[in-house]
Amino acid sequence: MATFPHNYVITKDSCIISIDGESYDVTSWRNAHPGGAETLDNFHLKDATDSFFALHSKEAIDKLKRLSKKTTDMKALGIKPTDAALAFREFRK
């Protein structure tokens, strides 16, 4: 069961997520995320493209553009969208 955001204790040293082929280091920003740090931690080193665009406002998308530099080459790490994400993209076509 998910933890209430104010009760969530970060245990991961870093949090890097992939959106639209870019990677974002949200390690220091995650506590400020309105959707909670845990939701971001759950996507550490994963592709969050579909969840991100399905859930967020234009303001959040603008915020993403201002977020910290890309750090990790997700492709080099072999980070790929999950089967569920690929099925969702097909469904949206």
Positions in the binding site for ligand HEM (CB under 6 A): 17, 24, 26, 33-35, 39-40, 43, 48, 51-52, 55-57, 59-60, 63-64, 67
Query: Closer CB to ligand HEM, residue 32 or residue 76?
Result: 32
Cα angle for residues 8, 11, 14 (degrees, 5° grid): 115
Identity of residue 67: L
Q: How far is the CB of 28 from ligand HEM (least distance, A)?
A: 12
| Distance separating alpha carbons of residues 50 and 4, to the nearest angstrom | 23
Query: Closer CB to ligand HEM, residue 20 or residue 73?
Result: 20
